[in-house]
Structure formats: structure tokens, C-alpha cells
């Protein structure tokens, strides 16, 4: 049997890594195999990346096939350097994440030919906004907020269940949050007491509405700063899988929304496409707009009213999440594990 040639795409984030394996001449088809590696407590981002690569290499070996190109996305220069250092002599391409996301959106025909697009990436650790010119692929601006992300959503849902007399760990609350992306009503049972609670998609929408409202203000602020209204907004990361989040953003913002059925795999699929196109490259970077260009005018001063509102939202959300996570902190210290929180800033080149 003749050996086939495969390419591997990997996306890295604060929560871990996702990998997708496919044939080099069929990167647009459903993958041969894929995996998700959760970042362990105290573990590094690159550890999850190379565990995902190891699993996909094992899968290729079992099929007697050869991986000819590997591409890994990174969110910032420090991540890219950590991946390159860990790779050693292993050949792989490190790609700035917006490049991979843009590549896949263009491949699927969802990207406008002109104007700009805003990438709204709401993942486990927070929200990253990137506005990109569709004709030149130049990044006009990028911003990041850690006020609320998927981890915060998990904690808020767990807090709601505790109020209903049901105590579950964060992994279970995350599972129920993911189920609410497709199910309207869930019955949750306390594994110890047997107490039951019913939660609905509307309950979850109410929980996260303040954070989504804050993110909509964040979007409007970026548009004001660049002075370039986008022609659409792509919803990326795991959180937009929940329809209530998409509906709230649609209500809050007057922008066409671009949504892939698997938004958390958009970066991975873009990495697959680039692995097939550039198997020997070492780094694929984003293009930054010339700082002297008109689009990068300074933002106007923010009013006192807006500042007070932003502080109020941050304080409310932060206080709720801290309370919801209190039990986990005490349990982690009992088990000898130290929780790790990573705040990733905008990419630095």
C-alpha cells in the first residue's frame, strides 16, 4: 500500500490546543483525525501543543501515512518563541493566529473582497478583537479584554447551580454550558446529595448578558479608534457556539455576523490550509498597517459616564466570578495544585 501525505494544523490558546489532520491535497474536506488537549494546571501552552502533535503523529503512523507539513498558530510573540524553542529541530510553521483565521474565512468564501472585517474571538481566557483590511490583509487594530471569557461563563453557571442547591465541579459546569449551545433545557443532578436543578438557555443568556454588553461596547470603541467601519464581524472561539450569545451580539451591534458551525476550529483549519501551502516556512506574521496611515487616528477622550459604566461592569462580573471560584481555590490548595491564570496581550512583533 502506497503511503499518503498528510498535513497537520494546530491552534494554541490559554485553555490548551486543538489539532486537525488531513491529506495535503484535501485540506477543505472533513479531517482524517482531530483532537483537543486541555492545558493541565501549571502546564505550559507549548506542552499542550506538542502533546496534540504527538497524538496526531501516532494517528498518522497507525495509518502508515506521513505528515509532510505542520503549522501552529500563536497569539503573541512570546507564544511563538516558546513553540519554536520547544520544536528544536522539528520542522513546523508558526503562524500568527489572525493570518490563519483570515485564510480559512477567505477559503470558505465568507470574507468580503473589499473593506475590512472584525475578528471577534471569544475564548476561554477572554476576548480578542482584530480589525483587518480584506484587500491587503493588514491589521488595522487589535485589542484584548479579560473581563469575561469561557472560564468566567463556567464559573457563573456553577454559581447559578449552587443557588439552586446543586454543587458540581467546573469541568461539569463547562459540560453543561456546552450542552446549552444545542439544548434549551437541562436537568442537572448533584452527584452527592441527589438534589436536582433545571437550567435553561435563557438562564444562561441572563448570566452572560452583562459581559456580552461590555464586549459590544469594546467593539464600538475599536471602530471609533480606527475610524473604519467593518463590513462584517466573524464570531470565533468556543463561546459563540451558544446561540444566545450570537443573538445578543446581533441585537447590540449593527454589523453582519459571519459564523462558522465550528467557530473554535477556524484557527485550526486555517493552519491546515497554510501547512499545505507552506510546509517549509518557519514563521508567517501578520502585516501591520503603517502607523502614519489615516485609519490609525488617536481615540477621542472617553467620557466620565462611560468610564464609570465600564468600571461598574468589571467590578460586578469580577466579584461574581471570584465568589463562584472560591471553593475551587480551596480544593486546589488541598490537592497541592496551584491554579494558573494567563492574560495574553496583543501580539508584539
Dihedral of the CA atoms 78, 79, 85, 88 (nearest 10)?
-160
Residue 310 buriedness (CB in 10 A; 0-12 / 13-18 / 19+) = middle
pLDDT of residue 75: 87
pLDDT of residue 263: 94
pLDDT of residue 106: 93
51-70 as b/e: b if 16+ CB within 10 A: bbbebbbebbeeeebebbbb
Helices 97-107 and 266-277: angle between axes, nearest 10 degrees? 90
Between the two ends of the chain, the Cα-to-Cα distance in Å is: 46
| Element housing 120 (H / E) | strand 116-122
Distance CA 185, CA 196 (A): 13
Distance CA 141, CA 43 (A): 31
Residue 347's nearest CA partner among 145, 142, 149 is 142
Mean pLDDT, the chain cut into blocks of 10 residues (349 residues total)? 76 92 83 94 93 96 92 91 89 92 93 93 93 93 89 93 92 91 92 93 93 94 94 95 93 94 94 83 65 39 41 46 45 38 35
Residue holding cell 436543578?
197
Distance CA 52, CA 9 (A): 10
Q: How far is CA 47 from CA 42, 74, 319, 341, in A?
A: 10, 13, 32, 16
242-269 as b/e: b if 16+ CB within 10 A: bebbbebbeebbebeebbbeebbbbbbb
Decide: 99 and 211 in contact? Cβ < 8 Å. Answer: no
Residue holding cell 488617536?
298
Question: What are the DSSP calls for 264-301, one per residue?
Answer: GGHHHHHHHHHHHH-TT-SEE-PEEPPTTSGGGPPPPP
Would you put residue 38 in left (φ > 0), alpha (ψ -120 to 50) or beta? beta
Q: How is the beta sheet containing 116-122 ordered, strand by strand?
A: 257-259, 233-236, 116-122, 127-133, 138-145, 287-288
- How much of the chain is helix, strand and coil, in % rounded to 5? 45, 25, 35
Amino acid at each position: 500500500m502506497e503511503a499518503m501525505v498528510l498535513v497537520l494544523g494546530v491552534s494554541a490558546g490559554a485553555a490548551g490546543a486543538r489539532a486537525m489532520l488531513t491529506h495535503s491535497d484535501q485540506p477543505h474536506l472533513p479531517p482524517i483525525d482531530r483532537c483537543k488537549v486541555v492545558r493541565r494546571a501549571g502546564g505550559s501552552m507549548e506542552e499542550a501543543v506538542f502533546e496534540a502533535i504527538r497524538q496526531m503523529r501516532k494517528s498518522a503512523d497507525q495509518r502508515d501515512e506521513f505528515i509532510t507539513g505542520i503549522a501552529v498558530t500563536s497569539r503573541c510573540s512570546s507564544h511563538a518563541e516558546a513553540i519554536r524553542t520547544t520544536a528544536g529541530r522539528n520542522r513546523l510553521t508558526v503562524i500568527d493566529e489572525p493570518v490563519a483565521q483570515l485564510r480559512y474565512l477567505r477559503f470558505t468564501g465568507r470574507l468580503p473582497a473589499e473593506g475590512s472585517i472584525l475578528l471577534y474571538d471569544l475564548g476561554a481566557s477572554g476576548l480578542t478583537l482584530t480589525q483587518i483590511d480584506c484587500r491587503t490583509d493588514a491589521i488595522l487594530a487589535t485589542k484584548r479584554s479579560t473581563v469575561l471569557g469561557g472560564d468566567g461563563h463556567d464559573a457563573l453557571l456553577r454559581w447559578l447551580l449552587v443557588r439552586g442547591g446543586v454543587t458540581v465541579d467546573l469541568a461539569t459546569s463547562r459540560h453543561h454550558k456546552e450542552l446549552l449551545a444545542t439544548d434549551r433545557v437541562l436537568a442537572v443532578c448533584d452527584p452527592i446529595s441527589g438534589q436536582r436543578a433545571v437550567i435553561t438557555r435563557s438562564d444562561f443568556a441572563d448570566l452572560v448578558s452583562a459581559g456580552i454588553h461590555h464586549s459590544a461596547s469594546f467593539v464600538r470603541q475599536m471602530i471609533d479608534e480606527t475610524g473604519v467601519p467593518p463590513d462584517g464581524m466573524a464570531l470565533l472561539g468556543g463561546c459563540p457556539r451558544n446561540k444566545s450569545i450570537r443573538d445578543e451580539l446581533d441585537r447590540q451591534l449593527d454589523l453582519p455576523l459571519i459564523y462558522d458551525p465550528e467557530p473554535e476550529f477556524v484557527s485550526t483549519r486555517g493552519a491546515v490550509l497554510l501547512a499545505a501551502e507552506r510546509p517549509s516556512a518557519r514563521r508567517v506574521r501578520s502585516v501591520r498597517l503603517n502607523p502614519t496611515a489615516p485609519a490609525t487616528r488617536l481615540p477621542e477622550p472617553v467620557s466620565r459616564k462611560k468610564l464609570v459604566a465600564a468600571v461598574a461592569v468589571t467590578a460586578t462580573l469580577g466579584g461574581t466570578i471570584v465568589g463562584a471560584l472560591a471553593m475551587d481555590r480551596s480544593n486546589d490548595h488541598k490537592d497541592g495544585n496551584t491554579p494558573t491564570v494567563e492574560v495574553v496581550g496583543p501580539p508584539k512583533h
